[in-house]
Amino acid sequence: MTDVKDLDTPFSLGPVQVRNRFAMAPMTRKHSPGGVPGPDVVEYYRKRAAGGVGLIITEGVYIPDPATGPDTDVPRLYDLDPLGGWRAVVDRVHAAGGVIIPQLWHLGSARGKAPEYNPDVETVSASGVATNGEPVGRAMTEADLDATREAYVRAALSARRSAFDGIELHGAHGYLLDGFLWDRTNQRTDLFGGSHKERAAYPASVVAAVRAQVGPDFPIVFRYSQWKDADFDARIAENPSELEAVLSPLVEAGLTALHPSVRRYWEPAFPDLPGADGELSLAGWTKRITGLPVITVGSVGLSAPFVSRTPSREPAGFAGVDALLEQFGAGEWDIVALGRTLLSDPDWVRKLLDGRTDEIVPYERKHMRELV
């Protein structure tokens, strides 16, 4: 039987040693005025590392592309002041024994029609189509594709210079890279549209370009999802073969690990398959198909799982991790990412490992707004 103590074991993310199997999931908080993470953000991440989290994946950070996102208070990974703020974050997380990687973020069509940040710059995406099917902005030209790919590279190099331990590319939830992966938002007729493999070609080219510049010893994680911001039932792959067609180009381009984002980690990815295959999670299929390290995520340990856009106002307490441990014992994943639990209780990991689950602070909606 797998025991919770089995999660308190080290893991190698490429050449980077993570002290245990717990990660902090990326969560946008908008607490960086002017894109600069300040002392409160430093303390926010330090507390989670001190509370036992082995791997910190930061909130999404803007890359140096003028159409990267709509908000002025989302942190950026470019310019002197933001990079100085991030260096302070990295130093404090390292001092607390944690490993930290930034999530590089370009929102694509989700930037919307009226952005506050760079309002005179038109929103761009794979085909100028939002996840709800409405036209937003315009389709990316070849020049756009080249410039945005280079912006990812520049952000990755800034991360390395700032002493981050790697990066995560946000390719999920309908944002820019994911917009290429989904047939409803990718209506291109060039090399980057068509089959599952062709739709993965542009995100894979970003991975390859970053890998070529950061070298072989800098971890690159890719986050992807079936669901989108406007469609929880969306699917980029209807079966394992289609999923393999999507993931293989990304893996071949130089990924270190994958982070399949689901709303409930215990749900099967392809429940219509017969036998045990129909019970395997998306993390499990990702691991089986690619052989790479996999990060699982989705309502871990919460009595109120993420099921809708209007979550319950009732506190979500600790609901156990038996299913999580069963999946770990079966080899479905290597690291588990925690989201809302860590917003309410920075010491969640330590309390779990020490058997003090009765002391865990329940999650409430107010914790999403606060920087505790």
Strand partners, 220: 167
Catalytic status, residue 117: no
Please pick, among 44, 45, 175, 265, the residue that the annotation labels catalytic. Answer: 175
225 forms bridges with which residues in the sheet? 261
CA dist., res. 264 & res. 160, Å (int) = 32
Phi-psi region of 111 (alpha: psi -120 to 50; beta: other; left: phi over 0): alpha
Decide if 186 contacts 179 (C-beta within 8 A): yes
Place of tokens 């409430």: 364
User: Following DSSP, what letter does each residue of 145-206 receive, concatenated?
Assistant: HHHHHHHHHHHHHHHHHTT-S-EEEEEEETSHHHHHHSTTT----STTSSSHHHHTHHHHHH
Q: Is 14 within 8 Å of 334 (Cβ atoms)?
A: no
Q: What does the alpha-carbon distance between residue 164 and residue 278 come to, in Å, rounded to a whole number?
A: 38
Whole-angstrom distance, CA of residue 244 vs CA of residue 246 = 5
Residues noted as catalytic: 175
